[in-house]
Amino acid sequence: MPTQAKLTQGSTFRHVVTMSFTGALGLMCMFLVDLVDMLFLSMLGEKEAVAAVGFASSILFFTVSLSIAISIAATALVSRAIGAGDVALAKRRAVNVLAFGILFSSLIVWLLWPNIPHILLFIGAEGRTLDLATGYLQILVLGMPAVMVGMIGSGIMRALGDARRAMYTTLVGGLVNAVLDPIFIFAFGLGVQGAAIASLLARFSMVAVSYYGVVHIHKMLGEFDLMDFLKDLPSISVIAIPAMLTNLSSPLANAIVMEHTSTFGDDAVAAVAIIGRIIPVVFGGLFALSGAVGPILGQNYGAGRFDRMHGAISSAVTYSFIYCLVLCIGLYQLQDCLVSVFNATEETADLIRFFATYVSFSFFFQSLLFIAIAVFNNLGKPLNSTLLNFGRATLGTLPLISLFALFMGAEGILFGQAIGSIIFGCLGFYMARNYIAGLEQKAAEEIIPLDGIRFDEVI
């Protein structure tokens, strides 16, 4: 059981690096398995199989995004309670967010499963590719409640500052997936469906790991009480619903990109699918940034430490720049290797090389948006995150990729996305810095000089 808010002490840069790297290792392991999935399926010599997983990934990203959104609510609510020293409140909110997540994910599975073929057809899948993508998704979607539980458990542990055990949830899931993949794909001869079954079983392993960390190690789940759940439901919804909308914008952008890419043929779709697998593996340290910065901000907000909140933001930017510089250089050097490994056709290879050479560094600016999202989600303005991310997914995607595709072909789709990331990353970061400054000023004004008691509510 936590005895102190550990993220309110020590170097903010060290906390950012530790939380980001541990989160990244877990995420990168999970996404590396997806990359290996793509590699195994490319070895079957059927480009429709690779394209099918590419289309399915757009829908899967939607379900995972919802799980991450609710884990954001768990992290924000639990970390603020821990920062304020109220462990009982933290335990109550942990179990109530978990109950919310299980109910919500079960509802999504019930609504989504029968409509999978129609959704895939809408975003451009057809023929053999449509059939393979449908079978793949109808298996994997059933594991959404397991992903939800695993992500929420990981979020609770991050809120406590236990980055290592939070990492284990996705790390173990990825390792289980990696072991089962070749067995189901090749040994059992199940192909695309085998990859889906292996991933489904791996998702259930995440539940066991997160349950062990939250319940047995930290003892952070209180007893479920319906009245307490109803009492906490507004607090959960205020964060979770805008966070869901925020995270839904990324699948929306991916669906827009995939629909436009499909007009250039299966080779272009395969390239975008491969790039979509490369991005989380290479830039996992940035995707983990929002989840890393959030608990640091939450605990220090609960403790009233605005100096450390400013320090955490500056540390996150420094970390992002160094990370992007090193990884983009590495990606540029390895682009021919990637083309060879995936047996890419000439058109597919051209798009992979274009991404590695001209587009990859735009992820630094996307990391600025991740930082801004962490600020707004954890400090009481999640709707701002929603507006920013939907702005990037719509105004920062559709007009730009349409415009650049007219002059650059399929490469223009990748380039248009990069320009959108630059615009909205800079805008979001500017807004986030101003918002923290405003919170600090408001807190200073609410301190009564006579006895120094602060009446502002930090939870």
145-204 pLDDT tens trace:
998 998 899 889 888 888 788 888 878 887 888 888 888 888 888 888 888 888 888 888
Enumerate residues 6+ apart whose C-beta is below 8 A from 434. Answer: none
Enumerate residues 6+ apart whose C-beta is below 8 A from 342. Answer: 38, 39, 42, 274, 348, 352
**Other Cβ atoms within 10 Å of 9 Cβ, number:** 14
Cα maximum dimension of the chain: 77
- How far apart CA 148 and CA 161 sit, in angstroms, is 20
288-316 pLDDT tens trace:
787 778 888 888 887 788 888 888 899 99
The verdict on residue 253 lying in a domain is yes
The verdict on residue 454 lying in a domain is no
The verdict on residue 357 lying in a domain is yes
User: Which residue shows structure tokens 């901000």?
Assistant: 297
Enumerate residues 6+ apart whose C-beta is below 8 A from 370. Answer: 286, 287, 289, 290, 293
Return the pLDDT at 35: 65
The number of domains in the chain is 1
The verdict on residue 459 lying in a domain is no
- What is the dihedral angle through the alpha carbons of 159, 161, 165, 171, rounded to the nearest 10 degrees? 70
321-367 pLDDT tens trace:
999 999 999 999 988 888 888 777 788 888 889 999 999 999 999 99
The verdict on residue 179 lying in a domain is yes
Q: Which residues of the chain have pLDDT under 70?
A: 1-5, 26-35, 45-47, 251, 446-459
Which residue range is the domain that position 112 belongs to?
6-445
Question: Would you state the structure tokens that stand for residue 100, as one six-digit string?
Answer: 């919310």
The verdict on residue 114 lying in a domain is yes
- How far apart CA 162 and CA 299 sit, in angstroms, is 13
The verdict on residue 136 lying in a domain is yes
Query: For the stretch 407-443, what's the b/e string if a residue is b when 16 or more beta carbons lie within 10 angstroms of its beta carbon?
Result: eeebbbbbbbbbbbbbbbbebbbebbbebbeebeeee
DSSP 59-117: HHHHHHHHHHHHHHHHHHHHHHHHHTT-HHHHHHHHHHHHHHHHHHHHHHHHHHGGGHH
- What is the dihedral angle through the alpha carbons of 330, 332, 335, 338, rounded to the nearest 10 degrees? 30
- How far apart CA 289 and CA 294 sit, in angstroms, is 8
Q: What is the pTM of this model?
A: 0.73
The verdict on residue 450 lying in a domain is no
